[in-house]
Structure formats: C-alpha cells, structure tokens
Structure 1
Amino acid sequence: MKCNLKASCTLIFLLLLFCANGLAQERTVTILGKVVEEGTEQPIAFATVMVADNETKKPITGTTTLDDGSFVLETTATNFYIEISFIGFANKTFGQPVADTKNIDLGIIALSEDAQQLEEVVVEGEVSRTEFKLDKRVFNVGKDLSSTGASALDVLNNVPSVNVNIEGQISLRGSQGVQILINGKPSVIASEEGNTLGTITADMIDRVEVITNPSAKYDAEGTSGIINIVIKKEQRKGLNGSVSVNTGAPDAHSIGVSLNRRGEKFNLFSQLGFGLRELPNDTENRNVDLVNNTTILSTGTEFRNETYYNFVLGTDYYINESSVLTLSGNFALELEDQPSTINFSAVDATNTVTSEWLRTEVTEAENPKLQFELQYKKDFKGDEDHNLVFSSLGNFFGKDQSSDFVNTTISGDSNDAEQKTRTDFKESVFTFKLDYTRPFSEKWSLETGAQYVLNDVSNDFEVSDLVGGSFVVDPGLTNVFEFDQNVLGLYTTAAYEGKKWGVKGGVRLEQTDLNTLLATTNETNDQNYTNLFPSFHTSYKFTDRISLQAGYSRRVYRPRLWDLNPFFNIRNNFSIRQGNPGLQPEFTDSYELTSIYILGKASLNFGIYQRYTTDVIERVSIFENNVNTVRPENIGTNNVTGIEFNTKYSPFKWMTLNGDFNYSQFKREGIFNSTVFDFDGNQWSSKVMAKLKLPADFELETIGNYRSRVKTVQGVRNDFLFMDLGLRKNILKGKAVLNLSVRDLFASRINETEIVQTDFEVFSRRLRGTFVAFGFSYGFGKGEAMQYSGQRRRF
C-alpha cells in the first residue's frame, strides 16, 4: 500500500511538473514601448522591433512602430533578446528580463543618429544612373533624387532626352506627343490632360524607362516614343500621406492632399486638389498682302483664368499572393474665364493707318472630366515575370463654352461688330488591353496581347453675328462635327537576352476604322485601313561600362481630333487655325544605333538615328484679304538623320551636371496645290543642367535650354534661349520641403515664326513670360513631401 501510494505521489508530481513546464512553454509575453529620436524626442515611425533567439541569433518575431513611434508585440519564446533598429540610427538591444513577467515595458527608447551608417547609405545609392536593356534605356532613380522630396516631374527632368515644361507637358528629344505609362500600362495618373504625375514622389519611383524606338508590344501610335514610370513594389503598411500648398505669380495657387492606407489585402489611395491659375499670353501678328500692299497689325494679351477641382480615389485589392485587382477613378472640373483684348491696325500701301479698333473677348466655360481605370494582374507560380494583365481605361471630357466678341472702332474706318460663339463638346475614349508574358527560361521570353481603343467625339459649334439689332447664325461657320475612330491591335514579340548579347523581334497588326461627319452639310470622310508594324532590337554588352543598342520600328501618327475638326476659335479673326477632315495618317520607319559609356563619375550616351516619314502632316497658311488661315495638310515625305549626345557627370558629392545635345538634318519633298515644297534643312537643340547641394540642406538647380532656328515648308521658326531656376530646402529631416521655382527667368522663351511667300508675308510672336512659384510640402506616416500643381489645361 505504501508502495502504491509512493508511486501515485511520484506520478502526480511528474504530471504537475509536465503541466507546469507545458504552461511555461505556452506563456505569452507582451512587449511594448515607444521609439523616438534622441535630442528632439520626435517619434520614429516604421522602426523595426525584432525578437531574436539568444543562441542562434535568428529572428523569432517582429513588428514596426506606428506613426507615434509606439509598438506592441507578443512572443512565446523563453530565451530571447530584443533589438530596435532604424536606418541611419544606431541599434539598441535589450536582453530578456531575469524575472518572469507577462509584460515587458521598455518605455521610451531614444535612438541616436549613426553618422557612419548615414554616410554609407548616401554613398551606396547616391547617383542615378542610366543603363541599356534590349529595347529601352533605363534610368535608375538613386538617392540623389529619391531622398529630396521631388515629384515624378522633377525626376523626368533629370532623365537624359526628356524635358518637362512649365505646364507639365513632357517632351522626348524635343518632341511632344510622347506616351506616358505607369508600370507599362495607361493610367489615370498618367493621362496627358493633367499633371497628376506631380503627386507621385521620387521616393516611390524605382526607375524610368525611355523607349525612343518602341517594340511591337506597344501601341504603334506616335513617333516621339514612350516613357514608362515603374513604381517600387515595396509595401508601406499603415497610413501614409502628404499635403502641398503652392502660390505663384502670375496668379497660381493650389492645395493638394494625398492619402494612402495600406493593409494586408487592401491599398486605398486618394488625392484631393483645388487651385486657381492665371495664364497670360502676349501675342503679336503682322499680315502683309504683297499684291495690294495692305497690312493688318494686331497685338494683345490673351488670358486664361482657371479654377479647378480634382479628386482621385482608388484601391488595390490583393486577392492572393499572385493576383491583384486595381480600380481607380478621377473626377475633375475646370471653370474657365478668358478676358482677352487685341488691338488692330489697318495700314495701306502708303504706310498710312486707315483704321484702328479694339477686339475684346469674354469667354466662360465649364470642363468636366471623368476617368476610370480597372486592372487585373496575375503572376503565375509566384513568378512576377510570368504574368497576365488585363486593363481598361475610360476617359470622358466635356466643354460647355460661350464667347462674346466686341469690335470697337478707335479711329478711321468703322469696324464695329459683335459676335457670339457657342461650343458643346463631348469626347469619350475607352482602351481595353490584354497582355501575356511568358519567360521560358532566364534567357528566352515571349510576349503577346491585344488592344482595342474606341474614340467617340461630338462638337457642336455655332457662330452668330449681330445684324440689325439681333444675332443671326452664320451658316458658313456653324456645324456639328462627329468623330468616331476605333483601333484594334494584336501583337507578338520574342526575345533572347544573355549576359552580353540579346535580340528581340516582333510584329503588330493594327486595324483602324475612322469616320467623320459634318452633320449640317452631310460631308463625310470614312477611312478603313490595316497595317503591319514590325520591330527589331538588339544589344551587346562589351563590359560593365560599355554597351551598344540597335533597333528598328515602324510607327504611325493618326490625325487627332483638332487636326480634323474644321471649326476654329475666332479670337483673332485675321489669324485663324482650322482642322482638315480629309487628313491621312503619316507613317514612319525609325532606325537607331545608341551606345552608353560609364567612365568613373560620368555616364555618356551617344546615338545616331534615321527616320523616314510619308504623308507628312504640315500646317500650311492660306492667305486671303489679309486673313491668314492655317490648316494641316499631307505634304510629301521627310527624311531625317540625326545624332544625339547625353551626359551626366558628378565631379563632387555636392554637384551634378547634365547635358543633352541633338542635331539633325532633314530633306523634304512634296507638292501642295501645284506648289513644290522641296528643301533641305537642319536644326539642333541643347539642354544643360547644374544641380548643387548647398550648406544648410539647400539645393540649387539651373537649367539652360536652346532651340535653333529651323526652316519650315513656307518660312522659318526662329531660335530661342531660356533659363529655369529652382531652389529647394529640406526641413524637418526631409519630411517637409520648401521649394522656389522660376520658369523662363529672363522672359526670353519667345516663339516667333515667319512665313515669306511671293504674294504674302506673315509674322507671329508669342510670349508666355516669367513664372515664379513657391511651395510647401509635408509628408506624414511614411509618405514623402509631394508636388501638386493641378490639372494642366487641355485647350
């Protein structure tokens, strides 16, 4: 009995010991605290809190701090230590408490800056660099840009061959019409009608891909090329955002707020913007009739005052690790007011002023705009390079505009008159795209897909003249213009890319169905054509510092709505711009050979290119009764051969120099209305940028631009030289930015054209003037300070 009792007691003791041990193993410990900067005691968001095993030193669990620097995490480990870290700061380590406790409160944890680590970080990713891929030039965004609070527009201005003007219009090699993509796809924030790109920060951009000679994968439309902005794939969980306030002269005031909330399944993003803007434009025109020796002079200032509202809302839904669905929308409203004034003088053959009059304009317009984007992406077997992407992009734009024009005689012959115009404009564009990419190995890959673009436009335009005290519709200037264009595209490309050599070839088939109708007069222009667009690219890497790339592609420029629409603005009824419903598309064969050299702290790009274009669209002046009417026409061929040189050099950590140079020769051949337009010419342009990092965390940037004089089909376009200036100051450890920018510092960006023919001469001069802007931007959470400058005007 005693033996059994002893055995039972032993058994009970062992069971209790086992249970106690099991309970001890399952004991949950809660660790909490708050991380701040030493000295300022500012909270550090997104600092890493790691619990690691004392013996193996391997992580067990971890978390990141919230916006206020606080954190809470749990662990069931029994032999561990705690490490707090954040980039640029010295790590802090805490051992496991000797006494058993359910809660470990570390209190306020102050991290001090690690000067050595900061120096290493800056050096490691300091310089943005350019490298070659098979069919593109890749500009990798380095620390010199991503840490400055700059926007996507600032980044693009640092990319060789790319320029961004004062209105956010982007050009490539000096040519506008470049297509902007986000992660390889059309996007609401990359639409050409707005500069919502200003809401993407440099910190978000991984690289910019410049495709001057696109492969068959891309839309064959356009000859200027493609710029693809690739966003980083890192996940910023929690609430991030930024706010920007800007003011300037002439009046340009705006405020923008951007918010981003990222979780495990959803990423919600939004942007709200409001602004006021005044866009003056000084004009001067001289129309000379050499047959009758009469001249019409006009000078004035055109204003475009705008109030605009912009709202963006979207979400990414991560269905699983390999699938993501994106839905976003953008609504904008622009209210216009155009109080323009033009002074006219009529001069006879004896150089005597026979009449002077004033033409005033009062225009009001409402321009609503709606865009949406739906995209689904699936990665196969966890391989992001093997994927299927479906995307659809819809765009609606409307314009309800009314204008009053009054001519008031000042002296001489009477020119009193009143006119009214009315515009009811509606446009919708829908783009559906399906892309499939399949890598068969590390070297071989295949791309295939389809795209369907539908464009439907209606423009109801009416002109009325005051006759006998009442307004009478002018039937010759009044009509409804209908424009309907559908383009279906199919493509396939195959590529081989080895360590040194690669080749990529493909073909694209596009079928275009275009219909235009002048409803009142029942005039139609129907076009239906199918074209093949082949492409071929190859590259060779001699060393890590020297690469060579060659490519060929066939491109098309389809006449846009305003190339075809015959109606015009009668602001200056002696200088009129019309469209041509009968225009045909122009086709271009493009060849390029480009090289890249990395020489120490300098990168150099040198290339030669040749483009042959048929049915070239040129604007031709038709002169009658001192009225100059400019109208686009298809005039023959253009053969262009050019060279391009880009360089970037950082002689010191505080200085970066960029230079672009482009020179081309062209040969024009064509006939229009029995007039032969055969001539040769050349043109060149250059851009030099200097960026200096000054004491007290200031940055100074200067950009000089020059465009040479060039011969046109009827005259010349004069040269101009201008300079932009920028000054940036980072405050609050880079979370906030003060920015001062001056565009066209010396008001020297003057666009002058001269037309000299046997029976008439025309001179035109336009000056936008100097723009000065000052802005403050602040980023919170892990957001960066952004730039917001509102919607760019479309008309």
Structure 2
Amino acid sequence: MKKLIISLSLLTGFVVFAQKGEQSDSTKVKDIQEVVMTKKVFQKKSDRFIYDVAASPVAKGNTAFGLLKETPLISSTDDKTLRIAGKSNAVIFIDGRVTQMDAESLVQFLKNTPAENIQRIEVITMPGSEYKVESSDGIINIVLKKKSSNGLNGSMRMNNQQNYYNSTGAGLSLNYRKDKLGINTNINTSENIREEYYILKNGNSESANRSEGRITDPNKDLGGYLNIDYQLNDKNSLALTYNSWANRSYNSTANLFNTTTDLVKQETDYTWTKSKEDARSYNNSMNLNYELKTDSLGSKLNLNVAGLFYKRLQSSNNFTIASDQYRNDNGNVIKIYQEQPQRINNFSATADYVQKFKKDLAVSVGGNFNKTKTDNDTKYDTYNFQKDSLVSEPNHFLYDENIFGAYVTVEKVFSPKFSGKIGARYELTQSEGNSDNAQDENLRNIKRDYDKLLPYLSLNYAINEKNNLSYAFSSRMRRPSFWELNPVKNILTEFNYIQNNPFVKASSVYSHELTYMYKSSYFLILSHTLTKDEITQVPLQGVINGKNQLRYIRTNFGDNQEMSAMLGMQKSFFKGYLSSNFNIGIQRNINNGSLSQDPLTGDIFPLYENNIKSNSFLIQTNNNIQLDKNKTWFLGVNYFYVDKQQIELGQLHSLMSLDFNLKKLWNQWTFSLGLDDVLNTNKVIIEDYQKNGNYNYVNQNQYNRGVELTIVYNFGNQKVKKVRSIDSADKEIKSRTK
C-alpha cells in the first residue's frame, strides 16, 4: 500500500512548468553540500547559476531543505521533493560530489542539516557529460563554508510540526578537525503520521465507480552519516563515507468506501476496502575515495569505489467487505494478502581525471561501472470467503544490471567574454530479468542490451558587465527505477490498482536552453525538451471478466514535448530590509501517446489517448523582510501558483500555497515559527475524459496546511574547516532504489 501512496503522491510533484517525475524518482532528490550566504547575489557563470547566501539571515536557524526551497529556480509543493524549473528532478551534490543516500533518506538529511553551514548554492540546469545523471535532471550543488582552524563545533536541532497529526524531529551535527584529519558526523530521528484523504471516481456510460476515504501512514526514521577525510600530503588524500538510514511504518491503513453503479441495470453495490500494511526499510552505503593532485593548475585524479545495500520488507492484508448505503459492515468478501520484499545490492566504481592547461583549457576524461542485483520474492494470495477458495500467484523476480560508461569533455575560455564546453558520454547497459514462477511465459526471462552516445554543448558570452547570454544542449537517458520493473500489483481496491512492468525500457531526453541575464539580478530562460518513450503511469479502464476495472499501468507512453519561457528576479530593496526572488513563466505541453493493452496480462481495454496540447502559467515568489535594526527579527512570505496543465494521467488542476515564517535570532539560538499552506489550497485534483466515454477523477488532500516550531542551538568553534566531501561512485544507482 505504501508503494501506492508513493505512486499517487507523485501527482503533487508538478510544480514549475509541469515538472514530471515518478516519486520513486520523485524521489530522485540527491546529495547536498555547502551553501554560502553572505550577500544574496544571484548570477550566471558558465554552465550554472550561483546563489551566494553565506551571510544572509535566511540561513540562520534554517535547514538545507528550507534554504533550497527559497533559492531561485528551485521549488517544492509537497515538502518532500525539490524541483528545478523545467526539470523532472533535482539531483543534490555537496561540494561537487553526490552523497550515498536514497531519496527518502536524503530528504530527512536535508531537513536536519543546518543552513548556516552553507556558503553558496549552484543550480546547474543543463549538466555536462562529466555528470552521471539521467533524463532531464538538473543539479543542485551545495558548497559548504571552508573554515580554517582546528577544533570541534556542531549544532542541535529540535522541531515540532502540526498538520493533521503532530510530528517531531531532532538532530545533532558535529564537525572535528585536527591538522590533516577531519571528521564530520550527523545523527537525526523523526516520527510522523502522514494522513491523506482521497476521492476517486471513474466509469463510462454503462457503469460508475466512486471510492472515498483515508490513508494513514505512521513513520519512524533514524539515520545519519560519518565522513572521515585524511590528507596524506599536499597532493594525496583519502576519504571514507558511510551513510545509514532506517524507516519503520507499521499499521499503515487504508479505509475506502466504494460505490459501484450499473447504469444499464440501475443497480448499485456498496463495499468497504480496508487494508493494513507493515513495512520497514534499511539503506546502508559506503564509499572510499582517493584524490591525487597532479599539478599546481588544479589537475587531479579521483578514484571511487562504493557499495550500496538496500532492503525493504513489506506485507499487507487487503479486505473487500460487503456493505450498504449506510456503510454497515456486512462481512468479508475477498482477502488479498501480499508480501513484497525487495533487496538491492550494488557495486560501483568511477575514475575521473581533469587536465588543466595554462591557456584556459581543461580536458576531462572518465569512466564508471555499476553492477546491481535486485531480488523481489513476492507472495500474492487471494481468498474468496463466499466460495471458500484460495488462489496463489507468487512471483520471484530477479533483476541483474550492468552499466558501463565513459565520457570526455573539453572546456575552453576563448576570451574574457566568451567560453564554451563540448563533450560526449557513452553508456552501455546490459540487463536480465527472470521470474522463477511467472504465470506468463514472456516474463520468465527478459534480456536487454543497448548503448547510447550522448553529446553535450554549452556556450557562454558575457556581452558586457551587465549582460550575459548562454546556450546549452544536452542529451540524456532515463532508466526505469528498480521497483517499476518488478511485475507486482499495488492495490487500492479490488479492481483499482497499480501494475508495474518489467518490459519498460529506457527513455531518451533531448534538451535546449537559452538564458539571458541582466545585472546579475534579472534573467530570462527559454527551453525546449523532447522526451521519447516517456516512462509514466497510464490509466486503462474497461470491463474485464464482467467487472469494470481501472489499472494504472507503468509503461512507455509515446513522446512528450515541453516548451517554456520564464522571467525571474533576485534582488534586495530598501537597503536590504527586503530580499526577494520572483519567477513568472509560461509552458506549453505537447503530449502524444496511446495504449489499449495491458502488457503483462494481454487484456484489451478501450483505447486510452493523450494527444492534447496545453498551456500553463506559473508564479513563484520568496520574500524575506527584516523587522528590526539589530537584524534579530525576520518575516518570510512565500507564495506559488501553478496553472492547470495537461499531464499523462489527465488535466491537473491549479496548485497554490501561501506560507509564512517568523524568525528570532538570539546569540547562538534561533527560534522559528512557520505557517504552511495558510489558505489550504495545496491539493491535487486530476480529471480525464476520453472520446470513448471513459472518465477518471482523482482528488488527493495531503493536509499540507500546518504550523511548525523549530529551535536550533549552535556550539563550539565556528571556524572549524569542513570535511572534504566525496562524490559517491554509486550516485546514479541510489536514485533508482526508491
């Protein structure tokens, strides 16, 4: 059931310009490093935007996640995922290197990392060939403050948040440096109950279905990391990074009341769907890094080896219960019992070398290898109380994947005004999926062997001190997440479920971006993205075996184009008393896909089509107001509005949220009170109407309105130098585990 929650909650991810992405990939939020806040300066340099934040009061008492939400071009509508304007996902780097955590763990890590540690935030909307990222991913690179003296420092953080239920969290961060040795560690814990309310409607001229009710998901999290960095001499360094995260979600429940009407016979049936799920997951990863500086110009060799071990244990009982219009319990009809364990083991290695030349020329070459094994031993039993019959449909799905990659980039500064970078990445993927006991012969062995050459180009021209113009072209692949390939059902009701698909293949993404910036404060971004073989969910609806069914099928669904134009501003007013960033933009979506057959069962449904062109409108602004001369009181006012837009599942209604934050700085203490979604408008509604008469409606309320109190205390020697952050060899694989 939790996978169902994850899949449906991805609907909240369409923030800036209909940004799509699977939660499981929504989940593709990755590592973060330092962010500096001295002066709120936003500027375009080469292939990235730079947000200088080191001395800004916005950072005081804030978290890395909260700070990122206030960064130009970055947004979040669900407080779980970060998005870059026009991009599917935001991949998080820290000091130019990716962390080892999976998406869910990383979010908690960011929410417990003090923003005071951040020097600047770099937003890379079009990553070069040297970055191992997928599809239309953008990169958020957090650059940490570099401090000089030996000693120990740290911070303690406590927060309490009230939405539908109360949630709590606490964290401790420590940083120690002694000459050549640096140790950095963090441990944090949180406890919350996620509450969601659904209204689901579907049908056609012959039948109508409605399901309404709650999904309640309790969670306890415990995690942390340890970084050890030792400088052997002036040229050689070693570093070891270990990350661990555990989640427990016991007694997660769904209670949905279902109304099914036969419009021909004028008959109505009533049932309850009641589910209970227990799940726990563990993520442990380790990375060993060696760095060799080969000259005084900055040339260096980086070697990484990493291991990642992910385990998720999940079991659930799903009951269909007879009822009447008064919602009485009239006895069990169907029981579906599922066990869905998943184990993922990965070994990764990378080698990167950059050679810098005196005449402003740099050549980078590198390669990577990833070997992943997944084991999904699913149990699926259906018991019919009326017939006293039991049907078992087990599925043991094993998936092995090897990825080989190599790249070369050449970066040249032709003049003080003009620079460029050209590169290419080659990737070879070999995979094999096996089901020991699959009911379908086609699922017992699925082999894939494909390669791709991915070119990249970027140009930057500083017209003068006030005007800057840049262009970039990028090509990428988007591989399916491991859970998307596991052919299991995630049940909402007996005839309404999500079906994963081992036949999903990688999609290709081609992007263009033209950027103009004026006075390092105003910018215009024009972009175009073409996605071929889009990976998404498609709602197939029809009468199968005498019952109207709705299946959300994971599949490749045609091609998609996105064209966008965005105007933005990052500026301070009234002698710094008001700092504001403001974005306004439009986007045009062109969808072109159709599907009628369930790829696993072969069942034929009425054709589902999405050949719709749509335009949408966006406004987003973040404002920080200084309330006193001593710079101890601050008020934050944040707002976003996303117009209705066409996505693969139908038309997504407009989204809007108004948030406030009041902050008090007192010596080493920071007190913060936040009010989120004050107008209670951040809700997801999707509607779809087909030519054949089928319709589908989803209304999801995640109870985003709430209040949060945070207390932060900083202690120790604040001049301690941060540990060197390491780029994990398995950074690309982590994002596909969730």
TM-superposed CA distance for 1:182, in Å, is 1.7
- Are the counterparts in 1 of residues 170 and 190 from structure 2 also a CA contact under 8 Å? yes
2:299 counterpart SS class: strand
Q: 1:747 aligns with which of 649, 670, 680?
A: 680
Taking the TM superposition and a 5 Å limit, the aligned residue runs for 1:166-185 are 166-173=78-85, 175-185=87-97
Q: In 1, distance between residues paired with 2:103 and 2:498?
A: 25
Aligned to 1:492: 408
1:527 paired with 2:448, answer yes
Q: In 1, distance between residues paired with 2:613 and 2:548?
A: 29
The residue identity in structure 2 corresponding to 1:409 is A
1:540 paired with 2:461, answer yes
TM-superposed CA distance for 1:253, in Å, is 0.8
Taking the TM superposition and a 5 Å limit, the aligned residue runs for 1:264-303 are 264-290=179-205, 292=206, 294-303=207-216
Aligned to 1:454: 371
Aligned to 2:669: 736
1:204 paired with 2:117, answer yes
Query: CA 1:188 to 1:261, structure 2 compared with 1: closer, same or farther past 3 Å?
Result: same
Aligned to 2:728: none
Aligned to 2:129: 216
Aligned to 2:348: 431
Query: CA 1:583 to 1:703, structure 2 compared with 1: closer, same or farther past 3 Å?
Result: same
Taking the TM superposition and a 5 Å limit, the aligned residue runs for 1:106-255 are 127-145=39-57, 148-173=60-85, 175-188=87-100, 193-195=105-107, 196-249=109-162, 250-255=165-170
Q: In 1, distance between residues paired with 2:288 and 2:58?
A: 28
TM-superposed CA distance for 1:766, in Å, is 0.5
Query: CA 1:146 to 1:372, structure 2 compared with 1: closer, same or farther past 3 Å?
Result: farther
TM-superposed CA distance for 1:655, in Å, is 0.8
- Are the counterparts in 1 of residues 191 and 221 from structure 2 also a CA contact under 8 Å? yes
TM-superposed CA distance for 1:280, in Å, is 0.5
Query: CA 1:147 to 1:135, structure 2 compared with 1: closer, same or farther past 3 Å?
Result: closer
TM-superposed CA distance for 1:493, in Å, is 0.7
The residue identity in structure 2 corresponding to 1:148 is K
* Length-normalised TM-score, structure 2: 0.84
The residue identity in structure 1 corresponding to 2:244 is F
1:408 paired with 2:321, answer yes
- Are the counterparts in 1 of residues 158 and 710 from structure 2 also a CA contact under 8 Å? yes
RMSD: 2.8
- Are the counterparts in 2 of residues 189 and 197 from structure 1 also a CA contact under 8 Å? no
1:155 counterpart SS class: helix
Aligned to 2:613: 680
Query: CA 1:235 to 1:703, structure 2 compared with 1: closer, same or farther past 3 Å?
Result: same
Query: CA 1:750 to 1:471, structure 2 compared with 1: closer, same or farther past 3 Å?
Result: farther
Q: In 2, distance between residues paired with 1:608 and 1:216?
A: 21
Q: In 2, distance between residues paired with 1:298 and 1:179?
A: 36
2:65 counterpart SS class: helix
1:631 paired with 2:553, answer yes
TM-superposed CA distance for 1:756, in Å, is 1.2
Query: CA 1:327 to 1:175, structure 2 compared with 1: closer, same or farther past 3 Å?
Result: same
1:580 counterpart SS class: coil
Q: In 2, distance between residues paired with 1:728 and 1:750?
A: 27
1:376-418 Cα shifts (integer Å, max 9, x gaps): 22223454x2211122343222111221223333327976332
Q: In 2, distance between residues paired with 1:627 and 1:578?
A: 12
Query: CA 1:317 to 1:298, structure 2 compared with 1: closer, same or farther past 3 Å?
Result: same
Aligned to 2:708: 773
Q: In 2, distance between residues paired with 1:575 and 1:550?
A: 45
**How many correspondences in the alignment?**
657
TM-superposed CA distance for 1:148, in Å, is 1.8
TM-superposed CA distance for 1:561, in Å, is 2.0
TM-superposed CA distance for 1:472, in Å, is 6.8
1:570 counterpart SS class: strand
Q: Which moved more, 1:142-151 or 1:644-653?
A: 142-151
Aligned to 1:701: 636
1:635-685 Cα shifts (integer Å, max 9, x gaps): 332233221222112112111111122322233334544776533222232
TM-superposed CA distance for 1:543, in Å, is 2.0
TM-superposed CA distance for 1:313, in Å, is 2.2
Taking the TM superposition and a 5 Å limit, the aligned residue runs for 1:4-83 are none
- Are the counterparts in 2 of residues 268 and 316 from structure 1 also a CA contact under 8 Å? yes
1:143 counterpart SS class: coil
- Are the counterparts in 1 of residues 288 and 306 from structure 2 also a CA contact under 8 Å? yes
Aligned to 2:11: none
Q: In 2, distance between residues paired with 1:649 and 1:571?
A: 47
Aligned to 2:173: 258
Q: Which moved more, 1:221-230 or 1:194-203?
A: 194-203
- Are the counterparts in 1 of residues 112 and 188 from structure 2 also a CA contact under 8 Å? no
Q: In 1, distance between residues paired with 2:499 and 2:312?
A: 18
Larger Rg over CA atoms: 1
The residue identity in structure 1 corresponding to 2:317 is D
1:543 counterpart SS class: coil
1:759-793 Cα shifts (integer Å, max 9, x gaps): 421111101112322111111113599xxxxxx99
Q: In 2, distance between residues paired with 1:209 and 1:613?
A: 25
Q: 1:322 aligns with which of 235, 257, 282?
A: 235
1:608-637 Cα shifts (integer Å, max 9, x gaps): 112222222342211133321011332332
Q: In 1, distance between residues paired with 2:737 and 2:719?
A: 29
1:416 counterpart SS class: strand
- Are the counterparts in 2 of residues 431 and 452 from structure 1 also a CA contact under 8 Å? yes
- Are the counterparts in 1 of residues 481 and 737 from structure 2 also a CA contact under 8 Å? no
Q: 2:570 aligns with which of 643, 648, 653?
A: 648
2:263 counterpart SS class: coil
Q: In 1, distance between residues paired with 2:343 and 2:718?
A: 37
1:29-82 Cα shifts (integer Å, max 9, x gaps): xxxxxxxxxxxxxxxxxxxxxxxxxxxxxxxxxxxxxxxxxxxxxxxxxxxxxx
- Are the counterparts in 2 of residues 281 and 301 from structure 1 also a CA contact under 8 Å? yes
Identity %: 21
TM-superposed CA distance for 1:172, in Å, is 0.9
- Are the counterparts in 1 of residues 194 and 217 from structure 2 also a CA contact under 8 Å? yes
TM-superposed CA distance for 1:562, in Å, is 3.2
1:695-715 Cα shifts (integer Å, max 9, x gaps): 371221121111221124563
Query: CA 1:273 to 1:715, structure 2 compared with 1: closer, same or farther past 3 Å?
Result: closer
Query: CA 1:580 to 1:485, structure 2 compared with 1: closer, same or farther past 3 Å?
Result: same
The residue identity in structure 1 corresponding to 2:557 is I
Q: In 2, distance between residues paired with 1:660 and 1:299?
A: 36
1:355-393 Cα shifts (integer Å, max 9, x gaps): 33322222112212212222222223454x221112234
Q: In 1, distance between residues paired with 2:587 and 2:138?
A: 17
Aligned to 1:44: none
1:213-241 Cα shifts (integer Å, max 9, x gaps): 11111125121311222223333421111
- Are the counterparts in 1 of residues 512 and 528 from structure 2 also a CA contact under 8 Å? yes
The residue identity in structure 1 corresponding to 2:188 is G
Q: 2:581 aligns with which of 635, 654, 658?
A: 658
Taking the TM superposition and a 5 Å limit, the aligned residue runs for 1:355-374 are 355-374=269-288
Which sections of structure 1, spanning at least 5 residues, go unmatched?
1-123, 786-791
Aligned to 2:511: 590
Q: 1:418 aligns with which of 313, 335, 342?
A: 335
Query: CA 1:725 to 1:470, structure 2 compared with 1: closer, same or farther past 3 Å?
Result: farther
Q: In 1, distance between residues paired with 2:112 and 2:228?
A: 16
TM-superposed CA distance for 1:430, in Å, is 3.4
1:520 counterpart SS class: coil
1:122-179 Cα shifts (integer Å, max 9, x gaps): xx98532122222222222241157623322233123211113444411111644322
1:75-119 Cα shifts (integer Å, max 9, x gaps): xxxxxxxxxxxxxxxxxxxxxxxxxxxxxxxxxxxxxxxxxxxxx
2:483 counterpart SS class: helix
The residue identity in structure 2 corresponding to 1:265 is K
TM-superposed CA distance for 1:606, in Å, is 0.5
The residue identity in structure 1 corresponding to 2:452 is N
Aligned to 2:490: 569
Aligned to 2:732: none
Which sections of structure 2, spanning at least 5 residues, go unmatched?
1-35, 597-606, 721-734
The residue identity in structure 2 corresponding to 1:508 is R
